[in-house]
Amino acid sequence: MNLDKENLLYRGKAKDVYQTNHPQQVMVKFRDDITAGDGAKKEVMGMKGYYNSLISAKLFMLLEDAGIKTQYIDLPEPGFMLSHKLDMIPLEVITRNIAAGSLLRRFPFQEGQTFNPPIIQMDFKNDEYHDPMLNDDIIHALGIASNQDLEIIRKITMKINQVIKDFLESRGLLFPDFKIEFGRDYMGNIVLGDEISPDTCRFWDQKTRDIMDKDLFRKGESGVIEAYQKVTNIILDEKDKKRWNLDF
């Protein structure tokens, strides 16, 4: 798909957002760039954007079917997602079902410890300040969101967690944690945006607890793209593969 560079609205660490002919729709291009450590570690891995777009599209469709409004409109071809235009809220909303990653460096939890109910953590999405953890008072002081906004975000996040967690467990995967982002549409409604993929989530094999996400890259291990492909194969069904003309 050819996109006019003059229509580029935003370039992130792994995605580009382009304005379309429709004022309230954008085209999101999933790039093959992969980063870790706040962008300190960078690489390009062929097919990464391809698999992330398929995984995100599938999970967004799953959430839409569950009554959760998302940015997703269509995946005209792998790697390119047609989406509703959102005014993004500068929060990273992290949900933790199982203790892993940075949580273990910051707090005295045991690796693999299960949280019931899950932990919801909010970070300030800002590279200059290295995405620090926030509390409600700081969120209010920064003018990011109101109490009502945060209540809506938490309620939607808990539902997202339950829907995806149940789905993945039915496919033999654990869902230790994930990061999502929200934005406001032209009506002011809070809507799920960005992506849900191995770049933003942890996926573990239910039986072996093998890692199947960006943690492989963070740890300097091999098999990153193979893991992304495996997650894609696990979560897509034959109807999905036919929809997007996939042959794997």
The torsion angles phi and psi of 237, rounded to 5 degrees, stand at -105, 180
Of the candidate ranges 37-41, 68-72, 179-183, 195-199, the one whose mean pLDDT is the lowest: 37-41
Is the per-residue pLDDT at 39 higher than 90? no
Residue 248 lies in a domain: no
Is the per-residue pLDDT at 40 higher than 90? no
| 102 and 81 share one domain | no
Is the per-residue pLDDT at 64 higher than 90? yes
How many CB atoms within 10 Å of residue 114?
Answer: 12
Residue 45 near residue 96, CB atoms below 8 Å: no
| 28 and 66 share one domain | yes
| 133 and 99 share one domain | yes
| 78 and 128 share one domain | no
Domain count for the chain: 2
Convert the pLDDT of each residue in 109-159 to its tens digit. 999 999 999 999 999 999 999 999 999 999 999 999 999 999 999 999 999
What per-residue confidence (pLDDT) applies to 248? 83
| 135 and 50 share one domain | no
Tell me whether the omega of the peptide bond preceding residue 117 falls within 30 degrees of 0, making it cis. yes
What per-residue confidence (pLDDT) applies to 161? 98
- The model's confidence at residue 38, banded by pLDDT at 50, 70 and 90, is confident
| 47 and 111 share one domain | no
Instruction: For residue 57, give the CATH number of its domain.
Output: 3.30.200.20
| 190 and 127 share one domain | yes
| 25 and 109 share one domain | no
Q: What is the chain's length? A: 248
| 47 and 120 share one domain | no
Among 197, 187, 191, which Cα is nearest to 30's?
197
In this structure, what token pair is assigned to residue 4?
A: 């006019």
Instruction: For residue 135, give the CATH number of its domain.
Output: 3.30.470.20
What per-residue confidence (pLDDT) applies to 152? 98
Q: Which domain holds residue 118?
A: 88-205
What integer best gives the mean pLDDT of the chain?
97
What per-residue confidence (pLDDT) applies to 215? 98
β-bridge mates for residue 98, sequence order: 114
The DSSP 8-state label assigned to residue 158 in this structure reads H
Residue 216 lies in a domain: no
| 195 and 108 share one domain | yes
What per-residue confidence (pLDDT) applies to 65? 98
Residue 158 near residue 166, CB atoms below 8 Å: no
